Amino acid sequence: MKRPQATALAAIAGLSISFAQAAELGAVDEPIKLAVNEWTGQQITTRIAGHMLEQAGYKVQYVTAGYQNMWQAMSDGDLDAAVEVWASNVPQGYHQLHDAGKLEDLGALGLDAREGFVYPAYMEETCPGLPDWQALAECAASFATVETLPEGRLLDYPGEWGTPGADRIKALGLPFRAIPAGSEGALVAEFRAATAQNAPLLAVFWQPHWAIGAFDLRFAALPEGTEECYSDPAAGPNPDVTGDCDFIPTRVFKAAWPGMKEKWPAAHEILSNLTLSVEQQQPLMGAVDVDGRQTPEVVAEWLAANESAWRPIVDAAVE
Amino acid sequence: MTDRFSPGTRAAALTLLVGLACVIFAPLAPWLVKWPAALTVPATEWIGAVVTWLADALKPLARMGARALSWPMDWAGWALIQTPFPLTIGAVTALGWHLGGWRMAAGVLAGLGFVLISGYWAPGMTTLSLVAVSVPLALLAGGVTGIVAYKLPALRRPIHVLLDVMQTVPTFAYLTPLLLLLGFGPVVGLIASAIYAAPPIARNVLLGLERVDPDIREAAAMNGANPWQQLFLIELPTASRQIWVGVNQTIMAALSMVIIAAVIGGFDDIGWAVLLTMRKADFGNSLVAGLVIVIFAMLIDRLSGKLAETRPVYSARITWVILALTVICTLIAARHLPASNAINLLGGVTDWMNATLGRFIAAYGPLLNAIKTNAMIYLLLPLRIGFDHAVTPMTWGFQWSAPISAAYFAVAALLAAWLGWRGRLLAALVLLLAAGVLKLGITHLPWPFVLFGAGALGWVAGGRGLAAYAVILLAIILVMGLWEPALLSLYLSGTAVLICAVVGGLIGLLSALSPAMWRVVRPICDLLQTIPMFVFLIPVLMFFQIGEFSALLAICSYAVVPMIRYTRQGLVSTPEDQVEAAISSGANRRALLTEVRLPYAAPVILLGLNQTILYAFSMLVIAALIGTTDLGQQIYLALGQGDVGLGVAAGAAMAMLALVADRLVQGFARKQSEALGLE
């Protein structure tokens, strides 16, 4: 379990507060290329960031980019920034390039992301002890399927994001077996199918995500995820291992091509100071994914109604 | 062993002995079952180092090429998107009339009309701009390759191997090096699509040229044509029919790969729309987006297909009338028409589809679950982990034990003895082998047994050369340390092929017997082959959850198509004189089928089986999105970790498995053809 520690250290490093000060605009004639990834939350954050840059006087180009494959491109300057990067599933390639100084970490986005074991609300009737995690041990059989018998079934993250579910059930000694989901779509399809027929389901999932609200998913209360739990075996319910607890909140941050600071100093500052909270992002995600509206339109409305939330950052950078 | 026994019998007997020896000595020598890690070479690291070095060395050149290719694509995209949609639709409709009359014109109008109202007009045009460059590129590269292979017979074998590799190594496997090489953007997708789409045209150019009548060639030579004149003025035109078959297949293949461009990103195309809807498990919208690709494929295919046919001349006047109407409509409507991306009339339909899917699951959930549970318990688990692990009180209601094992083998031995006594020694040995495999499970098979078995099959099917080919390729997988995921892949695709052979064969047989049935089956086959398979993952997942059963269904739904097509094709193409001769000698319907049509169709059906095998392996990567742990998943892991070597090695291993299976089946097909005196 290297990742949560690394994540936590990075989070502490990210806390260093940068004081806003006016900067040069730089090459305003060349468009700043913002990466648009596959999920709605990221697309919303990107549109907000893009609008702020435009207000500062920049041209912005939105470039669709595969989250897994775009990092080399960003280190080459083919993409300039990605404004919502999740430490929990960022590919190894990001870390290699970042450590080599070919990508810059622009600090935390402030999105207080939560990861954990989720279940549909109706499972609290089948397994009355929930949300307490110890109830899972007693009700394991009601989560079982033919592939996992006699153990319960836990849907884990896709293989390439790591195996946080398998690690935790092992550390906590839960009688479950982790089945890796192949993709986010596979996880959501399972939620859809299970809630349509009130079937049992336990999965590793995250918030903010539209599915949490749409399918009324709840987090199981695992032992609190702390720094000690991941470094000291004595902490947590299992005295023999580390990592026998909940996830440490995932750091969600912004990353950029290192040349940005020189080329567009004010843009660099705006993106560094950009923050967005779950409370701000989640309703916008709902408007897109549940109500079926278009992202640019939803974001434009929000920007008009919440000018106080973003205008000061733009003003501080350019004036 | 004496000469009384056929080669098949001897090979099966030896394989059985090797298997027995492995099982007996396994407790003493665990390395017989599990290849020792100490003997695994770090091939993935070496491959990674070599590929990265190569990519870095070629980078400047490749980036220049990428930039050169992105210009025509940008122009095509700009032109297609800027053209008002009534103009595009009208012009293509006029082309449809010109090539194929009212039917074709109506087809074009309906197809493009659907694209327009689906709301995916602009992404669709972006996709077309990619196809507009990748198809000519693939045609050029493939065509030249085919001509080179024809002119230089010494190069034919290596070129065939190269084409096989291009078609079997999954694109995801070399995506990372390709990104390193070409940089970010749609050009990567373009190249990937061209790599996959070039082999059909190369194969067909070669085949067409080889089949040119020698008399024509001689006549040209006598008239003083030099070799190049002879090629371009005589041979290529003569082979044009076969070459057009290749052109059509290349177009189909290129369109089936547009989804890869979306995985990388860089432009907002229809594949990206499929990916986004897939991520939300939004079946209705992903189906609509997928259908847009199907429509493009069918329109380009039918229109280009008409070019190759001798066709009636359709009135040029009507072509001009359609064009004139188009221009007038465009001009009049220019002010009033909404932008193409503001049109989306299918929202209600997609919502209804999603709601229906939900209701269906709510109503039939327990039934679907029962189907899955039974298939898992009685078929998939025994095949994967064998009876001795699959049979437990939880599943079958009792525990597999030593006495049961003994009884099981006693029954198998009795059956085998009876078969042997009836003189069917080969069948008896195969029965014993199957019993052993089922007891152990495919993923627990000892590696010497698998290697020896593959070698034995190769020897029977094609002699020593094929045996060596099979053993060497499998040994490479073993030494690279990818044996376990490879066995899982073998289990998944092997089971899928088995199911497809039975189900597809039956459907093909029924389609051959009843034209009415074929009218229903044929469009379903077309749809299954061109729609991005991502679309079908959603309902399969919702019905049967993440797991092997869903993966298996996804593989089968794609791989069953060639089995159906070729079985039917083989059965209906029996020469009429053979059929009539059989009828006049008093054969009834049943005898006609089993004794005349089936033997004649056997080589064609085997070719279908071979295609089914290749398709099943190629689907493993898509099935990994459901959550398998085989080679397909290794490729995604490699993508996530940026591990170039693992990706390439896993892709190569997958191609090797497919090639071994393919060559074995081809070997048997050739023997069958020879036995029937067809070659």
CATH number at residue B263: 1.10.3720.10
Cβ A160–B640 below 8 Å, yes or no?
yes
Residue B599 shares a structural domain with residue B609: yes
Q: What is the pLDDT of residues B43-98, one digit of tens each?
A: 888 988 998 898 888 988 988 888 898 899 889 989 988 888 888 999 999 999 99
Percent of chain B with pLDDT over 70: 98
Residue B8 belongs to a domain = no
Q: Can you read off the two tokens belonging to residue B571?
A: 């059965």
Q: Is residue B327 located within the same domain as residue B262?
A: no
Q: Are residues B526 and B555 in the same domain?
A: yes
Q: Across all residues in chain B, what is the average pLDDT?
A: 86
Q: Are residues B240 and B260 in the same domain?
A: yes
Residue B38 has what pLDDT? 80
pLDDT at residue B2, as a whole number: 42
Instruction: Give yes or no: residues B291 and B407 share one domain.
Output: no
What percent of chain B is modeled with pLDDT above 90?
Answer: 21
Residues of B in contact with A215 (CB under 8 A): none
Tell whether A129 and A228 lie within a shared domain. yes
Please give the structure tokens belonging to residue B114.
């659907």
Instruction: Tell me whether strands A114-120 and A217-219 are parallel, antiparallel or unpaired.
Output: antiparallel
**Lowest pLDDT segment from A16-30, A207-221, B273-287, B635-649:** A16-30
Residue B635 in domain: yes
**DSSP collapsed to 3 states, B366-402:** HHHHHHHHHHHHHHHHHHHHCHHHHCCCCCCCCCCCH
Q: Is the model's pLDDT at B477 over the cut of 70?
A: yes
pLDDT band at A17 (very low <50, low <70, confident <90, very high): very low
CA-nearest residue to A294 within chain B is B342
- From A89, which residue of chain B is nearest by alpha-carbon distance? B640
Run of H or E residues at A176: strand A176-180
Report pLDDT for B569.
83
Judgement on whether residues B457 and B600 belong to the same structural domain of the protein: yes
Conformation bin of residue B547: beta by default, left when phi > 0, alpha when psi is -120 to 50: left
Residue B139 shares a structural domain with residue B231? yes
Q: What is the ipTM of this complex?
A: 0.82
Say whether pLDDT at A14 is over 60: no
Query: Are A135 and A87 part of one and the same domain?
Result: no
Residue B668 lies in a domain: yes
Q: Which residue has the higher pLDDT, B292 or B241?
A: B292
Determine whether the interchain pair B636/A78 forms a contact, defined as Cβ–Cβ distance below 8 Å: no
Query: CA-CA distance, B187 to B64, in Å (whole number)?
Result: 11
State the residue range of the domain holding A90. 6-111+251-318
- How many domains does chain A contain in total? 2
User: Which one of B182, B188, B279, B619 would you mutate to disrupt binding with A, by most A Cβ within 10 Å of its Cβ?
Assistant: B279
Least confident of B355-369, B560-574, B663-677: B663-677
Contact A103, A276 (CB under 8 A): no
- Domain of B314 in residue numbering reads as 83-118+280-334
Average pLDDT (B383-400) is: 84
User: DSSP letter at A113?
Assistant: B
Q: What is the pLDDT of residue B679?
A: 45
B272 shares contact with chain A (CB less than 8 Å): yes
Residues of chain B found within 8 Å of residue A73, distances taken between Cβ atoms: 179, 183-185
- Confidence label for B678 from pLDDT (cuts 50, 70 and 90): low
Residue A101 lies in a domain: yes
Does residue A207 sit in the same domain as residue A292? no
Q: What's the angle, vertex CA A162, arms to CA A160 and CA A164, rounded to 5? A: 150
B303 and B274, same structural domain?
A: no
Last-in-domain residue among A235, A270, A290: A235
- Chain B CB contacts of A100 under 8 Å are none
In A24-146, which ranges are continuous DSSP H helix? 40-56, 71-75, 92-99, 123-126, 134-138
If you count DSSP H runs as helices and E runs as strands, how many of each does chain B have, helices first? Answer: 31, 0
Two tokens at B492?
Answer: 């998944």
Instruction: Indicate if A104 and A146 belong to the same structural domain.
Output: no
A24 and A95 in a single domain? The answer is: yes
**CATH code: domain of residue A129:** 3.40.190.100
Which CATH number does the domain housing residue A264 bear? 3.40.190.10
B449 and B567: one domain? yes
Contact A221, A133 (CB under 8 A): yes
* CA B607/CA B573 separation, integer angstroms: 15
Could you say which of B278, B298, B317 is where a domain stops?
A: B278
Tell me if A246 is assigned to some domain: no
B545 touches A: beta carbon within 8 Å: yes
With beta carbons less than 8 A apart as the criterion, state whether B184 and A78 touch.
yes
The domain boundary residue, chosen from A235, A260, A286: A235
Among the partner residues B359, B362, B640, nearest to A91 by beta-carbon distance = B640
User: Which chain A residue has the Cα nearest residue B627?
Assistant: A182
Chains A, B: CB contacts within 8 A come to 162
Residue A243 within any structural domain of the chain: no
The residue among A201, A235, A269 that closes a domain is: A235
- The per-residue pLDDT for A12 is 42
Q: Is residue B600 part of a domain?
A: yes
pLDDT exceeds 90 at position B473: yes
CB B358 to CB A196 under 8 A? yes
Helix A295-305 × helix A40-56 angle, to 10°: 50
Q: Is B159 found in the same domain as B113? A: no
pLDDT at A111 over 60: yes
| Residues A155 and A175 both lie in one domain | yes
| Structural domains counted in chain B | 4
Residue A50 sits in the same domain as residue A128: no
Q: How confident is the model at residue A11 (pLDDT cuts 50, 70, 90)?
A: very low
Is residue A189 domain-shared with residue A215, that is, in the same domain? Answer: yes
What is the token pair recorded at B157? Answer: 């074998």
In terms of domains, do A124 and A101 share one? no
Q: What are the C-alpha distances in Å from A40 to residues A47, A90, A286, B72, B630?
A: 11, 17, 9, 31, 30
Percent of chain A with pLDDT over 70: 93
d(CA A317, CA A319): 6
B421/B541 same-domain check: no
Phi, psi of A239 (to 5 degrees): -70, -10
pLDDT at position A24 is 81
Question: Which of B440, B462, B477 is the last residue before a domain boundary?
Answer: B440
Q: For residue B501, give every residue at least 6 positions away whose Cβ sits within 8 Å of its Cβ, in sequence order, or none.
A: B563, B609, B612
Residues 6 or more apart whose CB falls under 8 angstroms from that of B129 comprise B73, B74, B76, B77, B80
Provide the residue count of chain A.
319
Find residues 355-374 of chain B whose CB sits inside 8 Å of chain A: 358-359, 361-362, 365-366, 372-373
Q: What is the pLDDT of residue A16?
A: 38
- Residue A71 CA to residue B40 CA, distance in Å, equals 31
Answer whether residue B129 shows pLDDT above 70.
yes
User: What integer pLDDT is reported at residue B676 of this predicted model?
Assistant: 67
Q: What is the pLDDT of residue B508?
A: 93
Residue A88 lies in a domain: yes
Domain boundary among B233, B260, B278: B278
- Domain match, A231 and A255 both: no
- On the question of a cis peptide bond just before residue A208, with omega within 30 degrees of 0, the verdict is yes
Q: Position A252: which residue type?
A: V
Residue A22 inside a domain? The answer is: yes
The structure tokens listed for B463 are 């002699």
Q: Are B538 and A185 an interchain contact pair (Cβ–Cβ within 8 Å)?
A: yes
B379–chain A Cβ distance below 8 A for any pair: no
Residue recorded with tokens 């070669």:
B206
pLDDT digit string (tens) for B535-554?
878 888 888 888 889 999 98
* Nearest CB to B281 within list A37, A179, A185: A185
> What does pLDDT average to over chain A?
86
- Taking the CA of residue A227 and the nearest CA in chain B, the distance in Å comes to 26
Domain presence at residue B447: yes
Give mean pLDDT, residues B279-299.
88
pLDDT at res. A9: 43
User: Which pLDDT band, with edges at 50, 70 and 90, does B341 fall under?
Assistant: low
pLDDT of residue A2: 38
Residue B535 resides in a domain? yes
Please give the pLDDT value at position A25.
84
A244 is a domain residue: no
pLDDT of residue A3 exceeding 60 = no
Determine, yes or no, domain membership for B326: yes
pLDDT in tens, A254-268: 999 999 999 999 999
Please tell me the predicted confidence (pLDDT) of residue B677. 62
* Residue-level pLDDT at B410: 93
Tell me the nearest-neighbour CA distance from B438 into chain A, angstroms.
Answer: 18
Name the residue among B18, B268, B279 with its Cα closest to residue B121: B268
- B428-466 pLDDT tens trace: 998 999 999 989 888 888 899 999 999 999 999 888 999
Task: Please indicate, yes or no, whether residues B653 and B519 belong to a single structural domain of this protein.
Answer: yes
Q: Are residues A170 and A137 in the same domain?
A: yes
- In terms of Cα–Cα distance, which of B246, B150, B138, B122 is closest to B194? B138
User: Is there a contact between B208 and B241 (Cβ–Cβ < 8 Å)?
Assistant: yes
> What does DSSP assign to residue A246?
P
Q: Are residues A127 and A217 in the same domain?
A: yes
Segment 236-295 of chain A within 8 Å of chain B by CB: 289, 292
pLDDT for A21 equals 58
Instruction: Please indicate, yes or no, if residue B570 is contained in any of the structural domains.
Output: yes
In angstroms, the separation between the Cα of residue A152 and the nearest Cα of chain B is: 13
pLDDT at B142: 95
The total number of residues shown for chain B amounts to 679
